[in-house]
Structure 1
């Protein structure tokens, strides 16, 4: 049963700000040079319409290009984890404020040169915003820097909204890429009190939840052959976190389409225990079956916000317990610690 709680978690609504160039203390990671232009090829072979067969050379190029961005976000998430420690929280918040401000002033990530750059950016924007939101649970930042950061994050979110509304290809407009764009918009909207961004995130989430098959499988992810379950997991993460993020202002967000979110989660958990459920739908043995992939805790970090909403789901709780702590830098860091007091 979904229950109403009013805990002031970092994934909830906040507004943000702060500046300065001094490092808070030795625990603040060294600055990462902001990446302004993002130019990525596809990871996949040109003749693969399912977007499941990696081109190893292109994949390595993508990983190399994303490495400094992802390193920056991992640093933010690691620092955000300290915001729950009373002795370290203030220094952690200052570190996050300074780090994000440097990227905001540089106009980082504002030039997406290719379709694949746009598709990769949504989860990164969500991760930066989530870490910043956690810093804001500690204290507010100074006004001038807050304005710089806020304008930057809004510009990034609006860039993605425009792209998915007008340019994104049909498959990306309905799959995990759209889900991450929805989360990015909702997270930035929550931070900056931009109702239009929150609403766009809510509409995106409703569209994706309602698109699920009756068994809870996501149709666009089931087209991904041996990676169908991998991408189901990748889509469920932003869908669940967006539902949690919207919950304070839109308590019906997790209940759209007769509570179909529960079916999506139930199917995903059942498929992790028995990937053959997906094999039948995708027409290929899953990467988890062929041992090309092993389930890692970051892939199920979304279980913590789900269990906040759905407290009596024993399969979800059992899976979470077997992998805790659950952490994902794109979702704001260690979610097990973040949700500890709400369990």
Structure 2
């Protein structure tokens, strides 16, 4: 079943061509107010109605124990249900992608805070009605937290927005932490899904100065990193049939970005388990060149070999933060081939962000 419920005191939507449309009026404290984009020189885009309730079925064939055989109809239904949230996260990333020195950065950050506070005030994502909804939400929450933290570092929100946004983000972080510690299926509690939860919770902790959440994110990263074999393969991802390399790649993103963003607070984030993260990255990059390396562990030919899958830039956006902390000819060559590298769940255009950081 795929069900979403929206909060609707404020209309405005995104059309099928993903062009921003703007609301004619906004309800604020029960009063009619001028359009939000009239408050600043920058026109704030509508980010859609907050999604309060979400129910998702599985993407996979019901008899597939490896959870690698996609049911095309179910997959499309899940994508459709998640689309309003994905559009929202992309809009936040687009706003936070502005250069810190851009003349409009303060105003775009204020747009971002309006977008976040509108979903916070609605209690967005507070009702996740199915197991699959709880498993799917971590990457989106991670993107929200990273965008907020990036904006906050340049232009602080006002006190009312700060309280609303951070209370909401922390509530999501606590729910994710509790779910993955207590209720998530055994495999999900330790595989790429746990890595994404670690990124989401860890970055909420960093963005809101919550040590409990940031520490949980760091410990989760360490747990998943330490699970890798001596070659750098992640055993739970290598059980995923012909998508083993796909899911290894899906896990590396949050592991690397979390290590990079937590490094200022936990300065050993890249060295846990005798530097196994470097082995994970090296194995992943080597397997992208020679998928048979993953096939040997998975026991079957990989989608990158059979033509079912083609590497996309968003899948390797994590190379930019990795290269900020590590030197790797393999990583450099791959990044140069696919740039610009962007992934809204990892914070947006990481090529431009890390290029700007390297110039500071």
Q: Does 1:74 align with 2:90?
A: yes
Pick the structure with greater CA Rg: 2
In the alignment, the residues of structure 1 paired with residue 43 and residue 354 of structure 2 have an alpha-carbon distance, to the nearest angstrom, of 23
Q: Which of 81, 89, 114 does residue 105 from structure 2 map onto? A: 89
SS of equivalent residue, structure 1 residue 76: helix
Question: Is 2:265 aligned against 1:246?
Answer: no
TM-score, length-normalised on structure 1? 0.92
Which among 169, 179, 183 is matched to residue 153 of structure 1?
A: 169
**1:22 corresponds to which residue?**
36
- Tell me how far 1:137 sits from its aligned partner: 2.5
Contact kept in structure 1, 2:47 and 2:87, CA below 8 Å: no
1:213 corresponds to: 229
Matches within 5 A, 1:31-42: 31-42=47-58
Alignment of 1:188 with 2:204, yes or no, is: yes
Q: Which residue of 1 aligns with 2:329?
A: 314
Deviations 1:66-109 (A, max 9, x none): 00000111111111112445122112101100101100001001
* Secondary structure of 1:72's aligned partner: helix
Q: How far apart in 1 are the matches of 2:100 and 2:339? A: 17
Q: CA RMSD in A?
A: 1.5
Paired residue for 1:104? 120
Measure, in 1, the Cα distance between the counterparts of 2:171 and 2:67: 29
Mapped partners of 1:71, 1:285: distance in 2: 34
Matched length: 324
Deviation at 1:253, TM superposition (A): 1.3
Residues 1:337 and 2:346 aligned together = no
Q: Given that residues 42 and 104 in structure 2 are in contact (C-alpha distance below 8 angstroms), is that contact kept between their aligned partners in structure 1? A: no
Aligned residues of 1:298 and 1:327 also touching (Cα < 8 A)? yes
Counterpart of 2:293 in structure 1 is 277
Alignment partner, residue 18 of structure 2: none
Extract unaligned runs of 5+ from structure 1: 1-19
2:53 and 2:128 in contact (8 A); partners too: yes
Shift of 1:163: 0.3
The structural deviation recorded for 1:157 is 0.6
Alignment partner of 1:59 is 2:75: yes
What SS does the aligned partner of 2:166 have?
helix
2:284 is the counterpart of 1:268: yes
Check conservation: 1:297, 1:326, Cα contact below 8 A: yes
Larger RCO, structure (CA 8 Å, separation 6 or more)? 1
CA distance in 2, matches of 1:331, 1:245: 11
Distance in 1 (CA, whole Å) between partners of 2:69 and 2:77 is 15
Q: Which residue of 2 aligns with 1:257?
A: 273
Any unmatched runs of 5+ in structure 2?
1-32
How many angstroms does 1:342 deviate by? 4.0
Q: Please, what TM-score do these two structures have when normalized by structure 2?
A: 0.87
Report the secondary structure of 2:271's partner residue. helix
Deviation at 1:25, TM superposition (A): 4.6
Match of 2:252 in 1: 236
4+ residue stretches of structure 1 with deviation over 6 A? Answer: none
Alignment partners' CA distance in 1, 2:271 and 2:44: 40
Mapped to 1, the partners of 2:331 and 2:110 lie a distance apart of 35
SS in 2 for 1:169: coil
Q: What SS does the corresponding residue of 1:254 show, helix, strand or coil?
A: coil
Quick one: structure 1 residues 83 and 38, their matched pair in 2 at CA, closer, same or farther if it must change by over 3 Å? farther
